[in-house]
Structures are given as structure tokens and as C-alpha cells.
Amino acid sequence: MLLTIAVSNEKGGVAKTTTTISVGATLAELGNRVLLIDLDAQANLTLGLGLELGESEFTSSDMMLDNVPLLRVCRKTDAENLDLIPSNPRIETSEQFLPVRTNYTTILQQAIQATDEMPYDYILLDCPPALGAITKNALAAADLLVIPTQAEYFSAYALRNMMSMIRNIREQDNPNLAYRILVTMLDNRNRTHRNIHEQLRTTFGEGVFNTVIEIDTKLRESPIAGVPITQYKPNARGSAQYRILAQEIMEYVKEKESEMLTGDEAS
């Protein structure tokens, strides 16, 4: 069962790209075949995996704007089982050109569904810090939306717009879109962090991952090395916590598969 995961939050600086790289690398480390798609014009995901801008013949903008087939845009990374569709600044023009197309919010969804014999178990979509055409495409294509958020006021406040976006996408393009909030850069010594974390759990319940990602300077260093944290410092706290998160996601997949089997038997 292919699971497509969008990693998105309108608020910047909440570890979206770090989460995409780290979860993808950890899932690959566990033997899954993983594709990461960089949908951000800043291309931090691409840079964080050691690729220079302009190095790739095709990027995500070619797939979104020019209908280049998904598998033709993929590139291998240095990590086993981990492939990448890189980005460059051109994808920013998608915000201007996509909305003039019919059913423009499902272009990415169609690109994934049109791929015969998809060779991946997971696709992770790294979204820009905005709720425009690109993010709408990502959420329309996703089975699960991961929303990284800091346990701070402005980051938590931005969840209002994310919840509104989820409702709209469910109504228009993707009724089965699920979401989970991931608390990142948590400082357990900080009372405000602890309080907001608790408020998020009270408000969203099972919509919050059990796993939290605490502050770890090694997570900031690994992109400079051009490798995921699990390769850069395998024994770091960030590596351990993202491994736990990957296991939580895999358990989520097992639950969904079980629900589907139960539904098929009932029918």
C-alpha cells in the first residue's frame, strides 16, 4: 500500500524540511522504498540531500507545469532506498500558472496515480510555507498530512488556517485526507513549551503524534553535511526520535490496511 504524506504548515521555521528528510531517511533505513518530492522554491530539501540547484535535468516544476512523468524526474540519493524529485525557484511560477488550469488542484494527484507500477512504499511531499496552489495540490494528493509545529504561540495559532485548509480540501478534492500534528523543537525545560504542548494534546487529541521532536543542534548541522540526521549522527537524540516517529507512521499504515480489509470483508 502506497502512502503519500504531505508535510506542511503555513508557518515557516517549524522543521518541515527537516521532518521530511528525517522521516524519509528513517523509513528507507527500515527497508521501505521512499520518494521525497521537493515542492518549495527555496529547495532546502534538495540542498539538504547534497544536490546543487541547476544540477538536475528535471525538477518538480517540470512535473507540475510541463507534465513530465514522475519517474522521469526522480533522482537517486546517496541513501539506500531513498529517491528525490528536486526543486528549483521555477516552481514558484506554479502559483501563477496552475490556477488557470481546469482541476488544477489535482495535477500532482494525477501525476502519482498515472504512474504504472509505482516502485515506492512512501512518497513524502515537502511543501512551501504558504497555503497556495502548490500546497493545495500536495494535500489533494496526500493520504496523510503531517503538520510540524513548535510549542509556541504563533506556530500554534497558525494551525487555525491549516484546519480550514483541511476542511476545504476534504470538501473539494480529497475526502479521506487525515492529519497528525507533530510537535517539533520542543524544550522541556521551558514552561511555555510544556503548557502549549499540553494544550495541543487537549485540543486535538489523537490528532497529535505521540512522538515529539526535541531541540537538537545535530538536526541543524546535518543539512550542511548534505545527509539526513540518521546518517550524520545515527546516535543523536534527533535520530532516535525520528526513528520512533517513523515507527508510529508505519503503525498508522497497518491500522489503515486493517480497516480496509475489515471493510472489504463486511461488504
pLDDT above 80: residue 260: no
At residue 267, the pLDDT reads 54
Return the sign of the alpha-carbon dihedral for residues 206, 207, 210, 214.
Answer: negative
The CB density around residue 135, as the number of other CB atoms within 10 Å, is: 26
* 193 phi/psi in degrees, rounded to 5: -60, -45
- The mean pLDDT of 2-23, rounded to a whole number, is 95
Name which of 159, 180, 182, 195 is nearest 242 in CA terms. 182
* 7 phi/psi in degrees, rounded to 5: -115, 110
Cβ pair 162, 10 in contact under 8 A: yes
pLDDT above 80: residue 56: yes
pLDDT tens digits, 183-233: 999 999 999 999 999 999 999 999 999 999 999 999 988 988 888 999 999
pLDDT above 70: residue 104: yes
Count how many domains the chain has. 1
- The mean pLDDT of 126-134, rounded to a whole number, is 95
pLDDT tens digits, 136-158: 999 999 999 999 999 998 888 88
Q: What is the CATH number of the domain that holds 210?
A: 3.40.50.300
Domain that holds residue 149: 3-266
pLDDT above 80: residue 264: no
Return the sign of the alpha-carbon dihedral for residues 258, 260, 261, 267.
Answer: positive
At residue 157, the pLDDT reads 87
pLDDT above 60: residue 45: yes
Please state, rounded to an integer, the average pLDDT across all residues of the chain.
Answer: 93
Residues 6+ apart with CB under 8 A from 223: 17, 18, 21, 44, 47, 48
At residue 28, the pLDDT reads 96
Distance of CA 128 to the CA centre of its chain: 10
